[in-house]
Every structure is written in C-alpha cells, then in structure tokens.
Structure 1
Amino acid sequence: MVKEYFRPAGVEEALELLAVPGSLALAGGTFALAFDARAKPERIVDVALAVPRGIERRGGALRIGAGARFQELIDSEAVPAVLKAAAASMANRNARNRATVGGNLGANKSCASLVPILLVLGASVEYRERGRPSAVVPLAEWLAAPKGLALTLTAPLGSPAAGKPTPGEGLRAASLRASRTACDIATATAACAFVLDAGRVAGLRVAVGGFGPHAALRLDIAALFEGKPLPTKAEIENAVLPLLIAIGDQRGSAEYKRLRGAALVADTLHAAEVIT
C-alpha cells in the first residue's frame, strides 16, 4: 500500500527523494503498480515532471526523453518504423498511453518491448546520480548495472558495419515479438540490425528476450551469420536452436519456447528493412 507520494519538478529534487531507503521511481506505473502478486512499494517518487519527454531526430540519431510514452513513439514522425513496431508490440492502447521509455528500461523485463531493438541499434543512455553531473554510457552497460535516473536515450540510425555497404543500402533492422495472443505475455522477443555488403551480412547485431532474466545481445548468434549471405529461415532456425536455453512456465514448455525463439530470430532477420 502506498503511504507516501511525491512528484518532484526537477531531477535533483527527484534524486534527493529517491535517496531515502524504500523509495521507488514511478514513471507510467504499468509495471510497478501492476499485478496483485507483485510487492507494492510504500513510498513513491513520481518522476513524470522531472525527466525529459521530447522526441527528436538529429542527423543520424534519434534522441528520446525517458518520460516519452509508448504511444508518443508511435505517433511521432521522427521515429523510424522499426521502433514504432517495437512500441506497438505492447498491444493495449491504454497501457501504451501510460508506459514510458524510461520505465521499460528500468523494469528491464526478460521480454521488454524496446530493449532488444535499442540494444542492436547501439543506443546509449544519459543518466544522473545524486550530486553528480549527468553521464552517458552504452545502454547494455547501464542495463547490466543501472545507476541513478535515466534522462535520455540516443539511438544511432547509421550503419554499424566495418565494411562499405553496397551503394543505396543502409542499416537494416527489425523487431518482433512472439506470444499466443496479441495481449498475452510474450514468449520471446528478438531484434536485429545489419547492412548487406555485396550481398553478405555485415555488422550484424542480434538481441533476444525470453531466454534469461533480461533481454540481451547475442554475440554467439550474430557470429553464425556475419560475413555470409543471409541463409534461409530453415537454416537460421537449425543454427540458432542449439544456442537457446529456456525454462518452461505458464507461457509454454522449454522446448516450445526454444523452437519459437529460433523461428522468431529467423523471421526477424528476414523481416529487416532499411531504416529511413
């Protein structure tokens, strides 16, 4: 039961309030206050007014405020289709109206909607700790050891490949989610980003969710296809399947989840389109 509620107007005030033991940062509330079985915090610090909410595209990068809502990503002309698709994987419109980018990163669930695509795009996080200036680190690093309060997220939309892509070819990316029904709990999530260099996959990044406590970059999966022509879906599934480890739960058996995950990775690689 919530006994104390604060809504600071600035970052420093928010950090001061969050320094009190037992405090929880509240963004949209779709994770922290959902599900009766989850322990409810008694001291809430609503950071909605404290963190940036804007969305802008500058040159080859997209900058998103941690307070931006999922539906705002979908409605923004600055956001590329692949990120809109990741946001839309949260099928419930009411939830999208509340859920924030910062909240999705902070919760860092196994099948988080935005984390896989942001990881493969090489996104970075600007965050602030109490009494210190803001700092910027790769998203993967921040997720591994969250610090302070996330303020903004920057996702480069250019090519990560070391080689020179074929003229006219830019960074390709895709993000997909698997579940039994649209509004059901996700069984797995997957995202990829790469360019085609003379018909071969280059600079490949793959991230999957549902096969560990958090979504993560999978260098082992990317290494299977780097520098090679894109295989068929069946070939991708057969290559990826031995690398996936799952635990059976209400979403399905371990074997079902492994098979579904391998198929999802194959679908994601073949669904990748050039970011515009």
Structure 2
Amino acid sequence: MMKFISTISLIIISLAANAQEEKIITDRPGFTIDPGTVPKKWIQTETGFSRQTEKLGPGVKDHFMQNPVLLVKYGIVKRVELRALTELGTQQDGSSFGTTTYKGINRVELGAKFNFLDEKGIRPKTSLIVHYHFNHLRTIFHDTLDGGDFRFAMLHTVSKTVLIRYNIGMEWKAFIDHPYYVYSFSPGFNISERWYAYVEAYGYIWKGYYPMNSLGAGLAFYINDNLKVDASAGIGLSKLAPDNFYAFGASFRFRTSKKAE
C-alpha cells in the first residue's frame, strides 16, 4: 500500500503546476455517475480506498474494503470514453467463532460512456454508460458466469452553485440471473471555486424482493483543474444495505497528444 500511496503522491506533485480552463469531471466520490466524458486523447484515472461495515449481531460484524479501486478512462473521440475498472478487495466475515478473511480481485469491468444529449432548457445532459463484468477473473470469490450493467446518467444545472445528477439503469450479477434496477439522486453544491459537496440517495431494487437503499454525502477539493481529492461517507437505510461506509481517493488526468482537446 505504501508503494501505491508514494506513486500517487509523485503524480500529484507532477500535476500540481498544470491546469486547464475546464475542471476535471469525475464519477467519484459517490455512487452517482456524471454524464460528462473525458476530452478526446486524454487519460483520466480515478482511484481510492473504502470500508463498509454490516452488523450481523451483538459483537459480530462483516467488513468489506476496497484497497484500492481503480477506474481508467480514455477519450477516444468527442463525447465518447472507454472505461476500465479493477478493484482489489478484502472481505472479513464475522461469526461467533471468529473472523474469516478473503482477499483478491473483486471486480474487472470494461465499458464505455456515450454522451448523446447536451443540457438545454428542461432537458438534462444525458449519457449512456455500459459495462461488461468479467466475473470469471475474480479471485476473492470464484465466479464462472459473467455479468453486466447499463445506466443513463443525467445532469441538470439549477444555478452556478447547484447541480442535480441522477442515474437509472439495470445490472445483471450474472447474465443467467434476473436483472435488478439501479437508481441514484444526487444534489451537488459548488461551495467555492475549489470546494464541492454533495448528498445522494441510491440503491438497488429487485423484483419481488426487499430493496437495498443507502444515503451518502461527501466533499471534493480541486488542487487544480486536472487534479482532485475527495472523501465521502454514508449509512444504510434498509435491512439489506451496509450499516455504514467511508471512502477517500484522488482523480487526475493528462494529455496523451499535443492534439488533445
């Protein structure tokens, strides 16, 4: 972990002097994905650590840690980005007999984001995000069947300081399973030129089963237009949701060509 943190620190130092007029647009922190895409011929990296806890009984808890999650995005053309996501995880299952720990690769996903509508009047800025889940590459748990997801991500600009983002979509844990629905609603606030805050309600809904609903909030700070750090936390609102979680991370981008936008 120290090697990873040292690498991120060096990248932050090297980017601190570089800036661009338009600020970096990220999917983190939080569950809600922004409809904005990475500029053409730019690479953007979003990474972080998180921990969630679920209480099973008196003195018995499950924990899951992302250590870390890494999302790499590349703008292939205007309004279209390729996306690759990997996640290393640690699962700690508590019981009255002790704790069992599993470590390994938890997620490997490839996908894309397509921005097909700009914001105009009451019409939100809208993008389609799709991912293919390579579940057979997981090592923390052994799956043999792959899955996938799609979301529509939308954005309304209420004013210079208030934004509303929301997502709707579906996800297949495995393609032979029935899908479940994904939703999120997230008002955001530009507190100042460098500070951003948000709250969000989000979750999963299964047909004929109990939903998993959560509430989260977070802060982000722009070191410059190409570099951003964040922290977030939240609680579960329903029985199936984790009791609580917290996360922190960083995002940065850089040009891959002098002809980059």
TM over 0.5: no
TM-score calculated relative to the size of structure 1:
0.28
Please identify which structure carries the higher helix content: 1
Structure possessing the higher relative contact order (Cα contacts under 8 Å, 6 or more residues apart): 2
Please identify which structure carries the higher strand content: 2
TM-score calculated relative to the size of structure 2:
0.30
